[in-house]
Chain A
Amino acid sequence: MKLSDVMSAANLSFYAEVGLCLFLVVFVTVVVRTFRRGSQAEFDELRRLPLGGDEE
């Protein structure tokens, strides 16, 4: 019996949809946490990073 026999019998295509949903959930979590209030000050500091770097 080959691996592909096992895999074929296991009805796995369903898991791709599960994977898709998992990714969606993780992604939504990231979105939600990013847009929470409160982290603004820190982000403000980060925003300005490109403007430094060179001493004139």
Chain B
Amino acid sequence: MSGRTENFTYNDAITRKFVMATIFWAAVATLIGLWLALMLVRPELSFGLPQLTFGRLRPLHTNAAIFAFAGNAIFAAVYYSSQRLLKARVFSDGLADIHFWGWQAIIVAAALTLPFGISQSKEYAELEWPIDIAIAVVWVLFAVNFFGTIAKRRERHLYVAIWFYIATIVTVAILHIFNNLVLPSGLLKSYPIYAGVQDAFMQWWYGHNAVAFFLTTPFLGLMYYFLPKAANRPVFSYKLSILHFWSIVFIYIWAGPHHLHYTALPEWASTLGMLFSVMLWMPSWGGMINGLLTLRGAWNKVAEDPVLKFFVVGITFYGMATFEGPMLSIKSVNALSHYTDWTIAHVHSGALGWNGFMAFGMLYWLAPRVFQTKKLYSTKLAEVHFWIGSLGILFYIVAIYAAGVTQGLMWRAFDETGRLAYPDFIETVVRIIPMYWVRVIGGSMYVLGILLGAYNIVMTWAARPSKYEEPVQSAPALAPYQGEEPRLIIPFHSTLSPAGHRLRYFAQAAWHRAWERRPLKFTVWVTIAVVVASLFEIIPTFLIRSNVPTIATVTPYTPLELYGRDIYIEEGCYNCHSQMIRPIRAETERYGEYSKPGEFVYDRPFQWGSRRIGPDLARVGGKYPHLWHVRHMEQPTSTSPASIMPPYAWLLEDDIEFGVIQSRVDTMAMLGVPYGEALKSAEEMARAQAQEIAAEIEKQGGRAGLEGKKIVALTAYLQRLGTDLKKKPKVEPAPSEQAPVKTASAGGDK
């Protein structure tokens, strides 16, 4: 089967580039995170600058951590390990460089748009459509290069790490494309083709699987390659690793809806998500045990080698996070944990413990090899990083778990008389501020560790030889694949009928060994599994009417409200506020009637949120007079002295761009929103409504002349929220009457 021996070299220059990018973005991502943690205890640290507020910077933090830090680490791992596992140089050095620079350009574009409020407001998919297209292009080039390398490989078998990489590449592409289908309304603004419940469904199908296929599968590939490498012993059980792989492809993909328990999602869908989430727990632990047992008999090495220490703790956190994830998907647990810091603690044990430590373990192992220095600049410093980082994680997550559980219990606490024990939301915020300070300390330690790591790797790089060697490798070429059947384990008996033969062939799973050597077939099957599971989940939500019953009184946003809603999106209010009241007594007592799927049919994108740093806003319309909102937005502490919401004073200064309103209404109409009259006169309608609200603000004793300012549009939107349910149905709702200039009732002053 093997051909003549061939000589070749590896491209490690590309790995070096990604290594450097990883440490740079690791520092950036965690520093922004630390800054955000500080702003939650000292909101004045935004210095009145829009670009520095929590709502705008938090997406930059999450995107930087996932796509810049973890992303570059993944690429370093893929280029280094796949060339060696496949015994082939990367398919194209040029494509690899384009991949590198393209990816960095995308990250820079994110940094230049998100703080300026250019955002789709879908978590981890905030980047606007032109950047999304760039991501898709760069990803495809990466895929071409990767599969090209597989095609010219000199090793017939694909090691399990390669499977994980294949699943990553295919699935991330699908997720990214389908979650980002939007209709542009200008170069930097768009509306999703999905609305309300469906948009939420797509988003969390994406969000959940992005965790699986961006933060789990590639890191498992990394683990299955670099851990045996660093320990210099093979993985404990190859069978367990196969099981691990298929469990993620077949089961994880189903579990998305568990992010939306108790929301307006049909019952069956979230039950399904829950079941599969719980099932996931076992194979994940199989993976963890597999990793840890690989170190059997090598624990003395762990004591000496910081690389293995990072891996051991990283894998342990994988085990913790994959135990906790299924637990959080159990509805009764979720009822408590959702919207609290518990989720934040969960993702940070995953991100800091699993992703962060696996990445740095790999970097410390790679640095002396790719920079050809034989050893790391300082093993001691890496040890310090390990300990300070581990302690930092513990401080962080213990404090934030405590914060999450404390706040969750306070939200649902009732006193003896059956009323909410803490009716004032801010009480539940003030209580957890001390824990936020502990997070600042833990976070600082973790960041300090990363800075030490960056220094260590830069110093290792500084000791590099004047010219890198490219050691020549040799391996026999693969003879062209003849499609021969893999041998059966129990030999073929001539007494067996052809059908019997086939049965045995199947039972012994020779088919599996056959197509795991054939990357094309393998990839196609993985893709089919992912697509089919996704379709089973998605189609019913889109096509079964009864899932989203229409509500006659729910009408499109007026042009001014739509513009105000876009301000809400730009400012990233969804990072602190939910708009989704769950059917739980503690919530309906606090916020009012629970949310119905039919209320969101004009919400593009949906704004349900995932964390309540501030109260739910789904029914805030009419709760306060207009003037209250003006004062509160200008300086939240003026109405709520202990508030940690950032001040938004510029909204009282910045002008509404009346000129864009018509085109936004038109874009929405193209998506099927029945805008009627507003199609011709969106701008005039917006001006009229603004005039009305501004007049009322003045009457209530507020500043005069606000009719052209953004605050009026935002107020119009906030006053509209949740009010449609209370309206009387019209007898004959003619489309042309559906978008009249509305002023939400300004009563209900508390």
Contact = CB atoms under 8 A, between A and B. Distances in A.
Interface of B: 81, 83-85, 87, 155, 157, 159-161, 224-225, 228-229, 232-235, 238-239, 242-243, 246-247, 250-251, 254, 266, 268-269, 272, 275-276, 471-474, 489-490, 507-509, 512-513, 529, 532-533, 536-537, 539-540, 542-546
A46 interface: yes
A12 B507 CA distance: 33
Contact of B543 (A4, A44, A50, A54): A4
Contacts of B490: 38
Given A3-B543, A13-B268, A13-B544, A34 B471 contact: no
B447 to A, nearest CB: 32
A13 B83 CA distance: 45
Given A13-B540, A42-B513, A27 B247 contact: yes
Interface in A16-45: 16-17, 19-20, 23, 26-27, 30-31, 33-36, 38-39, 42-45
Q: Which of A4, A34, A50, A55 has the most CB of B within 10 A?
A: A50
Contacts of B507: 33
Given A16-B272, A33-B507, A50-B161, 6 more contacts: A8-B546, A12-B543, A17-B268, A30-B242, A49-B157, A54-B84
A20 B253 CA distance: 11
Given A26-B250, A30-B243, A46-B157, A20 B272 contact: yes
A54 B536 contact: no
A19 B536 contact: yes
A50 B229 contact: yes
A55 to B, nearest CB: 5
Nearest to A56: B471
Contacts of A39: 489, 509, 513
B307 to A, nearest CB: 15
A7 to B, nearest CB: 4
A55 B157 CA distance: 19
B78 to A, nearest CB: 14
Contacts of B228: 47, 50-51
A30 B506 CA distance: 11
A50 B81 contact: yes
Contacts of A31: 243, 246
Contact of B544 (A12, A42, A47, A54): A12
B473 A55 contact: yes
B234 A48 contact: yes
| Main secondary structure on A side of the interface with B | helix
A49 B544 contact: no
6 closest Cβ pairs, A-B complex: A53-B84, A7-B543, A33-B509, A19-B536, A47-B234, A8-B545
B557 to A, nearest CB: 24
Contacts of B160: 46
A5 B225 CA distance: 51
Contacts of A3: 543
17 contacts: A4-B543, A7-B543, A8-B545, A13-B266, A16-B269, A20-B536, A23-B254, A27-B251, A38-B489, A42-B513, A46-B160, A49-B85, A50-B81, A50-B85, A50-B159, A51-B234, A54-B471
A23 B85 contact: no
Contacts of B157: 45-46, 49
A30 B473 CA distance: 36
Given A7-B543, A54-B473, A23 B250 contact: yes
Contacts of B513: 39, 42
Contacts of B84: 50, 52-54
Contacts of B512: 30, 33
A53 B532 CA distance: 36
A17 to B, nearest CB: 7
A23 B533 contact: yes
A50 B619 CA distance: 57
